[in-house]
Amino acid sequence: MGKKTQQLLAALAVGSWTSQALAAGGGGVTFISYYGMFLNALGVHDHHLMEDLKPLVGAAVTLLITVVLGLMYRSQALGTQGDQGPSSKFGLRSIVEMIAEFVHDLGTNAIGPDKARPYLPVLFGVFFFILISNLTGLVPGFTPATESINTNLVLGLFIFLVFNWAGIKEHGFFGYLRTYAGPVLWMMPFLFAIEIIGMMARPLSLSLRLYGNIFGDHLVLSVFTGLTKLVFPSFLLFFGLLVACLQSFVFTLLSSIYISLATSHDH
């Protein structure tokens, strides 16, 4: 067993023991929160205010990690001396390029190769932000920003603005509104009302789906940590990794579909 593997297992063990040591009185499991410790050091002692600010700190940490990884990737890509081909070595560059290719194929297949290009940076950014945020939640003491409904609502509203802007850009303002009215004149008011309600529900469904899965994953981990103390919660981290990747994929896929529907002329 390599040294890095031993260090990882030791960190998982310490995280599990720390969670038990900090369990409050009656038996619930409370994971140590480094975000809470950071806010406490800044002078925030009110519990409710601290809970409201934790997702904001988590989002800032996720953004910082994303920027640092982006700069590292840029440095590695520029250091290839004009070689723009895929990296043959497994590392940061190959991982980023693999994910970028996956998101590129996802976006172009859903939106279309001719229309997808302007929206690929949005899809890349959303996928990487959600993925990195979810992965930080696998480290004991770091609560992912996506475990907060407020963060997810912001992401959902951002996609809401993007696909509506895409539809207006493609059809014009009144032309875009007409796509929600349907072809039958006497049914237009009814169809328009139904379509608008469905369109307004999209950011809410995106937010609740992401929130429910990430919150549920951490709840299961907390429950089994309280029951089994050490070994079994470590195996649940693999399940958490699958959830983190799958929810990033689902959010990005649905975002692509909403952009595709907004820009489509087949109404």
Q: Write the pLDDT tens digit of every residue in 5-59.
A: 444 444 444 444 444 444 334 444 455 777 888 888 888 888 888 888 888 888 9
pLDDT at 188: 74
Q: What is the mean pLDDT of the chain?
A: 80
In DSSP terms, 24 is beta-bridged to: 28
Average of per-residue pLDDT across 183-197? 79
Residue 21's Cα: distance from chain center in Å? Answer: 30
pLDDT at 15: 47
pLDDT at 265: 74
In DSSP terms, 28 is beta-bridged to: 24
Rounded to an integer, what distance in angstroms lies between the CA atom of residue 104 and that of residue 101?
Answer: 5
User: Does position 100 have pLDDT exceeding 70, yes or no?
Assistant: yes
Query: For the chain, what percent of residues have pLDDT higher than 90?
Result: 33
Q: Domain coordinates of the chain in residue numbers? A: 29-263
pLDDT at 94: 85
Rounded to an integer, what distance in angstroms lies between the CA atom of residue 71 and that of residue 264?
Answer: 36
Tokens of 70: 């982006």
Low-confidence winner among 67-71, 141-145, 187-191, 226-230 (lowest mean pLDDT): 226-230
User: Does position 107 have pLDDT exceeding 70, yes or no?
Assistant: yes
pTM of the predicted model as reported, rounded to 2 decimal places: 0.81
Rounded to an integer, what distance in angstroms lies between the CA atom of residue 147 and that of residue 211?
Answer: 5
Low-confidence winner among 39-43, 126-130, 158-162 (lowest mean pLDDT): 39-43
User: Does position 240 have pLDDT exceeding 60, yes or no?
Assistant: yes
- Taking residue 146's Cβ as centre, other Cβ atoms within 10 Å add up to 31
